[in-house]
Amino acid sequence: MIYVGKWCNLTTMRILARLTNIIALRRRLPVAQFSTSSKRHAQFSYTQGAGTVPLRGVTVGRLLQEQTEKTPDREAVVFPAVGVRKTFAQLLEESDRLAAGLLSLGLKKGDRLGIWGPNTPEWVLAQYATARAGIILVNINPLYRSFELEHVECKAIISDVRFKDQDYYDILLPSLKHVIMMGDDDHPGTWKFSDVMSAGSDEQRRSIVDLQDRLQFDEAINIQFTSGTTGFPKGATLSHHNIVNNAYFTGQILDYHNRPYDAKPWSYLCTSLYGVPTMFIDMLNHPEFHSFDLSTLYTGVMAGSPCPIETMRQVIAKMHMDQVTVCYGTTENSPVTFQSHRDDVIEKRVSTVGTPGELCTRGYIVMLGYWGDEDRTKEAILPDRWYLTGDQAVMDEDGFVRITGRIKDMIIRGGENVYPLEIEQILYTHPKIQDVQVVGVPDKRLGEQICACVILKDKQTATEEEIKEFCKEKGRGHEIVGAPACDLTRDRKHVTGNTTSTVMSMPRGVY
């Protein structure tokens, strides 16, 4: 059963034990030297998932149908906020109704349908309806503005009415052939989602069922936009094969397949929780944290950014998630590339030492390419299908990997290469610090100076000198040179509703 909250990808550790999923660290070698041959093997840290479980050769739509045939009355998805619960039978039936409705609007296999908004029941139906109809679902960032939408080419779009301060209806482009709005209100020039659900004919619904035998698992089914460090959005194009197998093996490591199903209609007690480290930090610091019953949790995924070891310890001790896993991935890798095991020691889950290199991947996880952008696809994927993540990483002899930063995010301070992540990991161990972000700021003498934006825990105060002294103690023998504070202090009410954050430049040598 899926209890819908947030999904994200993440940052740390062990390679998923998979067939044909290969990882290497490239240490600034010319492309011509990048090879998996034994002659060049010593130049790389290299590991390969030698799993015995075969890859699933099935489409997303066929997989839903197979699961429905096994457990039609088992709950598939729950949205407590809006009181929606669906069994697998209901999910399949409604997905096929929506798929038939999309056919009635003139959409066909290979067309692109955008979806724009936060997590909703309509999103889940759109995911499976497009998969059943062979339509490519295009995930649009809920925070996109009109100029970013211009890079998203779709024949139709399913849109929520609004999100935060954005009125989607006012932003939508007039070039779209069909606009399908969620909710009950009428919007001139658009379709209601409920009307499309009922628009398909019986013949069109039968055609959806018949189509399942003709869809191929290596066909494109999802486009996810990612801007990364290059500016304009890039559409990472994923196949059924990418998505199905990535989800399948991630779930196996979480032990979902061995856990008894015991959902009760009156209960939403979860056994697994996904989130980025910031979400876990916010939950741990919630003023009513101790009033929640978290006793049913045992595992989950922490992803999206590096996991501070202190946060991991608190999640295990206070949230009962002793088997929580840490994942690393990219949108282009479907997304999970590495995942710690549930019984790995905590130090292995969040840290590994070694010489940094660029993390490269090859295997079933790698996207088909960037939609309509052959040049950027060639920049990211070499002719032999190695994908260059752009992430700096180290790998140990057991295949554990630690991400040390983005290659393009590196700060060059007076000719010295500094990776923000390494400084952040030190500051996360300070007892008064809740969250921190390290960035480079212009400096006339050094070119760049290191600036740490620090959010303190509730009811805590700290001075610049206090935190500098803490960094000095953690300086690992480097020369410590003080630097004047950056005038970047800002109000933090938009983050936690409390006092202003402490923002300062960091002394040299804390990395």
Bridge partners (DSSP) listed for residue 15: 338
For β-strands 191-192 and 178-181, DSSP reports them as: parallel
Three-state DSSP string of 446-476: CEEEEEEEEEECCCCCCCHHHHHHHHHHCCC
CA distance 199 to 93: 14
Distance, C-alpha 103 to centroid of its chain = 31
Whether pTM > 0.85 for this model: the answer is no
Evaluate whether 212 touches 59 at the Cβ level (below 8 Å): yes
Distance, C-alpha 280 to centroid of its chain = 15
Sign of CA dihedral 21, 25, 30, 32: negative
Q: What is the pLDDT of residue 263?
A: 57
CATH architecture of 412-505: 2-Layer Sandwich (3.30)
Evaluate whether 370 touches 387 at the Cβ level (below 8 Å): no
Opening angle at CA 223, ends 218 and 228, nearest 5: 120
Q: What is the pLDDT of residue 497?
A: 30
Q: What is the pLDDT of residues 478-507, one digit of tens each?
A: 322 334 444 443 333 333 333 223 333 333
Residue 249: its H or E element = helix 240-253
Q: What is the pLDDT of residue 91?
A: 98
Q: How many CB atoms lie within 10 A of CB 258?
A: 7
User: Within the chain, which residues score under 50 in pLDDT?
Assistant: 1-20, 28-42, 228-230, 476-511
CA distance 28 to 390: 11
Q: What is the pLDDT of residue 341?
A: 92
CA distance 238 to 334: 7
Evaluate whether 224 touches 368 at the Cβ level (below 8 Å): no
Biggest distance spanned by C-alpha atoms of the chain: 75
Q: Letter for the amino acid at 281?
A: I
* Domain 60-216, CATH: 3.40.50.980
CA distance 459 to 462: 10
CA distance 358 to 373: 23
Distance, C-alpha 55 to centroid of its chain = 22
DSSP string, 13-60: -BBP--TTEEEEEE-S--GGG---STTTGGGSEEEEE--SSPPP---H
For β-strands 156-159 and 166-167, DSSP reports them as: unpaired
Helical segments of 394-441, H only: 420-427
Tell me the CATH class for 2-56+239-408.
mainly beta
For β-strands 299-302 and 45-49, DSSP reports them as: unpaired
Classify residue 408 as left (phi > 0), alpha (psi -120 to 50) or beta. Answer: alpha
Whether residue 335 is preceded by a cis peptide bond, meaning omega within 30 degrees of 0, is: yes
Q: What is the pLDDT of residue 353?
A: 52
Mean pLDDT, the chain, integer: 81
Evaluate whether 85 touches 91 at the Cβ level (below 8 Å): no
Beta-carbon-side half-sphere exposure of residue 204 (alpha carbons within 13 Å): 22
Q: How far is CA 480 from CA 132, 139, 203, 470, 510, in A?
A: 60, 46, 74, 11, 8
Q: What is the pLDDT of residue 4?
A: 46
Residue 440: its H or E element = strand 433-443
Give the domain ranges of the chain: 2-56+239-408, 60-216, 412-505
Contacts of residue 111, Cβ cutoff 8 Å, sequence gap at least 6: 135, 136, 155, 156
CA distance 62 to 77: 18
Evaluate whether 205 touches 94 at the Cβ level (below 8 Å): no
Q: How far is CA 442 from CA 405, 436, 458, in A?
A: 20, 19, 31
Beta-carbon-side half-sphere exposure of residue 32 (alpha carbons within 13 Å): 0
